[in-house]
Amino acid sequence: MLTPPEWPAWALYTFVGVAAFTLCIGLVQFLRDSHRHQHGKNGNGHCHGEIRPSGSAEPEFRAFQRRYLSVYAIIMMADWFQGTNMYTLYMEYGVNISALFLSGFLSGAIFAGPIGIYIDKHGRKLSCVVYLVLEIIINICE
């Protein structure tokens, strides 16, 4: 039988808190958008200042949006699960976890700008492929 990992209490509480916060933000956005669509429509049937696909493009856009969000949600959930497992692994090896996480967040803050320029220059598709290949290599090395 599968046994759940022995996560520290703070990691479990953090995960549940972030998940609850994300659900609350999603609910607030949904309610705000539905309220805006019911009360704030202009003569065209759209909200003021809103750019929406029209005609035959809207079903295609909605299908793309559902595919994108489903893949994004799966990847983010996998990253959350990996984080707690990596914490447990590094704790067993005696690694200074706070320094490890701090260096990860600082490198993200430092390199986000230059990598953003690279992504704008070479395209998102190539950048996603490069990211996935690097992520696979990193996970194999761990």
Question: What is the tens place of the pLDDT at every residue in 101-115?
Answer: 788 888 888 988 888
pLDDT score, position 133:
93
Annotate 15-47 with b (16+ C-beta within 10 A) or e (fewer). eeeeeeeeeeeeeeeeeeeeeeeeeeeeeeeee
The overall pTM is greater than 0.75: no
Q: What is residue 43's three-state secondary structure?
A: coil
pLDDT of 26 reads 82
Tens digit of pLDDT for each residue in 31-67?
887 777 676 554 455 555 566 666 677 888 888 888 8
C-alpha to C-alpha distance for 113 and 108, rounded to whole angstroms: 9
Question: What's the confidence (pLDDT) of residue 126?
Answer: 92
Contact 99, 107 (CB under 8 A): no
Rounded distance between C-alpha atoms, residue 72 and residue 62, angstroms: 15
Q: Tell me, what's the pLDDT at 11?
A: 74
Q: Residues 117-140: pLDDT tens digits? A: 888 888 989 998 998 999 899 888
Whether 39 and 33 have beta carbons less than 8 Å apart is answered as no
Question: Which ranges of 7-142 would DSSP assign to H, the alpha helix?
Answer: 9-39, 57-93, 97-122, 124-141
